[in-house]
Structure 1
């Protein structure tokens, strides 16, 4: 469910990016703002990364059904040799700044609805995550938080996880009765001799 909603946000941003002819990287990101992401953003900006931030109970609706307020964050990053251009864009539109990507993200995702949602995505806040020089360029990174409401029930779609039916595990590796793997590697100590 969460992956589907994250993908819906990414798809919408890509759709609007392509319609506007913008050269912006759009992708998902599963971690926190750390050195690895800053390095990636410095290399790929202008960029927008979609990430799931979390969810909290909104209310219990009826027996077995719970409503949640989910938060997704769009991490937007602009870069330039000029710190003002990294934030606001510049050079006659040749540099796409972080503020322009925030505006673009508002426009693209405002009221985005999905069949899994009880309430469409709504922008909530913009947070300054990072503004500093990285290497030779300034990097401006902001987070646009979007919330939505969804309901989860005991029968929310576990059948969709059919791949879980085929997962088997054991604490023992090999042993009597274990099938022999097709490989050139020795399967037992006796075969090594």
Structure 2
């Protein structure tokens, strides 16, 4: 149980910080659009990455910096494009309704969620390498309890973020809400892209 609690707290510490993935989950929640799909993809992806880290894949990540460099450039380009689109939307905001939010297909939303998750090289450093290293300090059995706790943290966080935003979606009826949200998301995405290129 101690290892599980440590995993839960460590996992939450790493994923709660605002980032591209969290911003997208928040936006989908406010639009009431494919929230379950987005939450599920994020939680399952985290669980897979955590499991890979605990199983020792972190060593592969550490030993192949070229792969991370490629991901860094592709991820930065994707984040920059997404950020610019958000800033463009912020110029002429309009009220959003659940019907508006459902305009994008499930496939398009799933693809965006996967891209924001797996094109970020920091997810491999934080979730695979760092969490894997910390988990393996808990011994051969304890590390899997740690992994379970960290995966539970992801489920709890993404569910709270997505469905919490969905519950607060009345805010989406105000154009000013979308102006602020798109402005913040755009700036966050561009800042993350810049960070990827300068680290």
What TM-score comes out, normalization by structure 2 length? 0.26
Greater helix proportion: 2
TM-score normalised per structure 1: 0.27
Name whichever structure is richer in strand by fraction.
1
**Greater length-normalized contact order (CA 8 Å, ≥ 6 residues apart):** 2
* Structure number with bigger Rg: 1
